[in-house]
């Protein structure tokens, strides 16, 4: 990419897309293109085609998706599957038809089998059953990966795919029901602190292990891969370490200053027992994360205070 290349960031208002936008600006890229949902409905294929035909971007960062946590995935399976398939088909096929030079598709760690080897290597894809609570989203993301690989194989498109681990950071979704585990815990412990609640009940046993990466680190990885990587093989993007949801809850509680008791509702699902990505392929290319979790959590809480509570 050149600093003046026309770059479309799909989903530039979301946590990941906004981080990519900030990173591109930080590195001196000056010709960025973004559209809000009101300006461009990615479920409207005709509208997507008109957008591509009018602007003809040279590079596309594909950070747009319908996303949510365990509860949202389990409650709205049709929406998660259908909407993501529609968005992916429109953006990937549309990019091919207007001659986009390169596209980076962002998948998810949930594409891997529920009982994948740990850390999870890229070649674990399609080697076992998925985690049932988010299989609809996972199937859609797998389809997006395969679509990129198919367009590369049939048409020679330079379409690549990166698989981020669990993410957090500015512009996260703190919805009480539809958010991922970390922003959900931030909101829950904050509200308990304000209400002086004697206890907070968290889903599951707390034993599940998760890896977390700051969105700004992912953004750096995305720009790095767009500039240096060209292969049909997917690339994991993680930090290389994980922690239990139990420890995560206590870390968030301490960060927020909540003094009450933490209880666990074991009737609720844990999800995948462990999801630690094997990111050695990316590390070997020369990229490493920079934001420590202990530094990122307080910043995420400040983002919640500044944005979510003023919404």
Q: 250 exposed, middle or buried (CB, 10 Å; 0-12, 13-18, 19+)?
A: middle
Active-site option among 137, 151, 258, 301: 137
d(CA 22, CA 6): 15
Terminal-to-terminal C-alpha distance of the chain: 36
137 is catalytic: yes
CA distances from 49 to 11, 21, 91, 94, 148 (A): 16, 22, 8, 6, 18
Measured CA to CA, the distance from residue 238 to residue 212 in angstroms comes to 7
225 in helix, strand or coil?
helix
Q: 190-194 contacts: CB < 8 A, separation 24 or more?
A: 190/256, 190/258, 190/301, 190/304, 190/305, 192/258, 192/260, 193/256, 193/257, 193/258, 193/259
**Which pair of tokens denotes residue 233?**
């093989």
**3-state DSSP assignment of residue 44:** coil
- Overall residue count recorded for the chain in this entry: 311
Contact by Cβ (8 Å): 253, 197: no
Active site residues: 137
């Amino acid at each position: 990419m050149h600093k003046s290349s026309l770059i479309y960031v799909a989903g530039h208002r979301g946590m990941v897309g906004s981080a990519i936008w900030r990173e591109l600006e930080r590195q001196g890229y000056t010709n960025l293109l973004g559209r809000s949902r009101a300006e461009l409905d990615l479920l409207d294929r005709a509208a997507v085609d008109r957008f591509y035909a009018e602007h003809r971007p040279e590079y596309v960062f594909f950070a747009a998706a319908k996303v949510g946590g365990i509860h949202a995935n389990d409650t709205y399976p049709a929406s998660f599957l259908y909407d993501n398939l529609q968005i992916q088909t429109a953006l990937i096929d549309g990019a091919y038809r207007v001659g986009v030079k390169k596209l980076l598709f962002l998948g998810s760690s949930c594409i891997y089998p529920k009982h994948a080897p740990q850390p999870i290597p890229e070649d674990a894809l399609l080697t076992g059953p998925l985690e049932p609570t988010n299989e609809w989203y996972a199937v859609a993301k797998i389809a997006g990966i395969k679509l990129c690989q198919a367009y590369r194989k049939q048409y020679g498109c330079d379409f690549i795919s990166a698989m981020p681990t669990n993410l957090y950071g500015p512009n996260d979704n703190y919805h009480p029901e539809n958010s991922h585990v970390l922003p959900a815990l931030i909101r829950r412990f904050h509200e308990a602190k304000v209400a002086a609640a004697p206890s907070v009940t968290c889903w599951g046993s707390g034993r599940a292990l998760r890896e977390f990466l700051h969105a700004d680190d992912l953004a750096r990885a995305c720009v790095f891969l767009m500039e240096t990587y060209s292969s049909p093989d997917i690339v994991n993007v993680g930090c290389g370490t994980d922690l239990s949801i139990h420890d995560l809850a206590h870390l968030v509680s301490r960060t927020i200053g909540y003094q009450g008791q933490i209880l666990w509702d074991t009737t609720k699902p844990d999800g995948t027992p462990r999801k630690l990505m094997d990111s050695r392929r990316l590390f070997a290319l020369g990229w490493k994360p920079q934001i420590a979790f202990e530094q990122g959590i307080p910043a995420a809480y400040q983002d919640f205070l500044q944005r979510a509570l003023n919404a």
